[in-house]
Structure 1
Amino acid sequence: MASDRSQLRAQSVVAFGGGHGLAATLQALRLLVDDLVVDDLTAVVTVADNGGSSGRLRSEFGVLPPGDLRMALAALCGENRWGDTWARVLQHRFAGQGEMRGHVIGNLLIVGLWEQLGDPVAALDWVGKLLGTSGRVLPMALTPLDITAHVRGLDRDDPDRLTPVRGQVEVATTDGVIASIALDPPDPTPCPEAVDAVHAADWVVLGPGSWFTSVIPHLMVPALRGAIVGSDARVVVTLNLDEQAGETPGFGAADHLAVLAEHAPELRVDTVLADTRHAREPELEQVVQATGARLVVADVACDDGSPRHDPVKLAAAYSAVMGGSPEGADAAR
């Protein structure tokens, strides 16, 4: 593995996800843009949120839910006074007791530009220019969609019965065990720029994040799935640090990979990136080997013990995976 970055061609990366998981990935990859390891960075974001400020704006105006798009834009702001200020403004949530309570400035700004320009991609590009982001943010589809799931354990009289659950919030907070997910509509209009970005990418990054409502949904969009599967880009799956209440209770690292394979069996994974806490799970290495991928184990967790990825540590691990430097990955198997 080369360690002289001056002799390396910078990489084109497309990161898929939503919410806090995608934000962590983008904060890490933004550091690699600054370090000239990555020269072209695109975030492709889920657009199925039906709760909070995003859900209210979606319901009232019939637009894409802007919240996850806003978080991705904020994550790509630079670590300088301009970037820090705009990131905080974009993320500011109104308090008070009136109708504006709970709305976020960035959501309103994005929806306002959508109404002005009539083009969701152009509007997001304008917000990115205003913020001086280190990459581009795109929706995974051009129309709002819903996540549906078949959930086991909701019927007390028949615990094995599969119950349909509809809506991102409802799926993410279910008391049952998610068996599978789908999208409604099942073949949403993809964002052409997102498909083009995948075709031009050197690397595709999936995860971390809410596995059933932020990560796997991208592989349920037929055009995106086809682009990822047919692309020459190498796929990196970044595993979550812990189980997530509602979505993945009781899941270990290997379980995350297993359900990913169940939903997209034709997906070819090049690298699975796991935290050092997963090194004690023998099932993980077995599952990774069965998929033909390599396992990279690195310390990527925050030091406070929370199940969050540290952007600086994650950047070092991504750099090692993509050939930027050997530091950051403790082992590659």
Structure 2
Amino acid sequence: MGGAEMGREAARPKVVALGGGHGLHVMLSALVRLPVDITAVVTVADDGGSSGRLRHEMPGIVPPGDLRMALTALADPGEHGALWRTTFQHRFRGDGALAGHPVGNLVLVGLSKVLGDPVAALDAAGALLGARGRVLPMACQPLDIVAKVAGLDEDPSAVRRIRGQVAVASTPGRVRSVTLDPPDAAACPDAVKAVEEADLLTLGPGSWFTSVLPHLMLPDLAGAILGSRAHRLVVLNLAAQMGETEGFSPEQHLDVLSDHAPALRIDSVLADRASVALPQRLATAAARLGARLDLHDIAIPGTARHDPAGLAASLAAVLALGGPAVVAGRSGDES
């Protein structure tokens, strides 16, 4: 494979998965099936639901929702880890002050307050769950996504600025570009170091403008990604996302990456075979980024959800780990 060599016998390959939300959860659910060292680098711009409420009530807190989901994907599959995974994901019901909050969000916020450091809080929570990898925030402060969106006015050429992850993800307009606020925020040093030492970097699947692109908008982290010797893999979504990428073809997702990070070069693009209507067009788009296109069966048949086992087999091939035999020997939890 391109980038850093994967044929080392003494050390397990180091994989850094960049993303957020359900897309990152499924990627981590695939990676835990493989003999690799895992680091998840997670977006910190969530401003909806429980995370949004906690951000409002405690300014400066890193939104915990996507971080919690990553931790639970890495939880040890044994009885102890399963108990804590279920507990972290348990969401309070009713009409009280706790209604809608997952337990894990509150634990992460509490640990951050006690330890004074979101990275230390995540490491402590990871130990509690027996996490088979490390979860890091892309920045140690909350960020906001700001998008330029067209199609919200009678004039189709008019562009408005929309602020906030939830607003961008649900806009009825067409997202043209995104930036982060503050634009010069410092990346988490541990996340930068993980990227610099990685053998494989994965971008996607996930919400393209609000979970994937933000990693390329943070100067320190983007610099590490662009300068990395790792194999850089983009995993495409199975379908366009209503609001955020509605109407996008698979190749348009790659064009958006290039528009936001013109210097970015990719080694390979992974897509589900049945989800690509025009493979040659997608292969051409991938080639513009320096990448080869790999079409595999990575969806759960009849759904728009990735199959962790199928995705793991594809990742094993990229890592030259022996493919299905390796995956079968390490059957992690499905998302």
- Please classify the TM superposition score into its range, dividing by the shorter chain length: over 0.9
Deviations 1:118-177 (A, max 9, x none): 011011000000000000000001111100000000012x11111100000000000000
Per the alignment, residue 331 of structure 1 pairs with none
- Correspondence 1:97-176 to 2 at 5 A: 97-156=95-154, 158-176=155-173
Give yes or no for the alignment of 1:242 onto 2:244.
no
Number of matched residues? 319
Quick one: which of 272, 275, 284 aligns to 2:272?
275
Amino acid across the alignment from 2:243: G
Say if 1:117 and 1:326 are closer, same or farther in 2 by CA, change over 3 A: closer
Distance 1:297 1:57 in 2: 41
Deviations 1:63-97 (A, max 9, x none): 01000000000000122222222111101111011
Could you list the runs of 4 or more consecutive aligned residues of structure 1 that deviate by over 3 angstroms after TM superposition?
Answer: 5-9
Give yes or no for the alignment of 1:182 onto 2:184.
no
Q: Report how far residue 321 of structure 1 moved.
A: 1.0
Per the alignment, residue 82 of structure 2 pairs with 84
Quick one: which of 58, 68, 71 aligns to 1:70?
68
Amino acid across the alignment from 1:203: L
Distance 1:218 1:73 in 2: 19
| SS of equivalent to 1:273 | strand
Structure 1 spans left out of the alignment, 5+ residues: 329-333
Distance 2:261 2:93 in 1: 42
Q: Report how far residue 251 of structure 1 moved.
A: 1.1
Give yes or no for the alignment of 1:51 onto 2:48.
yes
The alignment yields a C-alpha RMSD, in angstroms, of 1.7
Per the alignment, residue 292 of structure 2 pairs with 294
Q: Report how far residue 226 of structure 1 moved.
A: 0.2
Distance 2:102 2:45 in 1: 17
Q: Report how far residue 326 of structure 1 moved.
A: 4.8
Distance 2:153 2:96 in 1: 39
Deviations 1:14-44 (A, max 9, x none): 1000000000000101111xxx2x1x21000
Structure 2 spans left out of the alignment, 5+ residues: 2-6, 326-335
Q: Report how far residue 183 of structure 1 moved.
A: 0.5
Per the alignment, residue 284 of structure 1 pairs with 282
| SS of equivalent to 1:284 | helix
| SS of equivalent to 1:144 | coil
Distance 1:106 1:10 in 2: 29
Deviations 1:210-250 (A, max 9, x none): 00000000100000000010111110000000000010001
Q: Report how far residue 284 of structure 1 moved.
A: 0.3
- Correspondence 1:208-247 to 2 at 5 A: 208-247=205-244
Amino acid across the alignment from 1:129: A
Per the alignment, residue 201 of structure 1 pairs with 198
Contact 2:250 2:276 (C-alpha < 8 Å) held by counterparts: no
Give yes or no for the alignment of 1:23 onto 2:21.
no
Distance 1:179 1:201 in 2: 31
Indicate the structure whose relative CO is greater, using CA pairs within 8 Å and at least 6 residues apart.
2
Contact 1:8 1:324 (C-alpha < 8 Å) held by counterparts: no
Q: Report how far residue 277 of structure 1 moved.
A: 1.4
| SS of equivalent to 1:235 | strand
Amino acid across the alignment from 1:70: R
Contact 2:251 2:282 (C-alpha < 8 Å) held by counterparts: yes
Distance 2:178 2:171 in 1: 13
| SS of equivalent to 1:31 | coil
Amino acid across the alignment from 1:17: G
Taking structure 1 as the reference length, the TM-score comes to: 0.93
Distance 2:138 2:298 in 1: 27
Contact 1:207 1:240 (C-alpha < 8 Å) held by counterparts: yes
Percent identity (aligned): 55
Contact 1:94 1:103 (C-alpha < 8 Å) held by counterparts: yes
Distance 1:29 1:326 in 2: 12
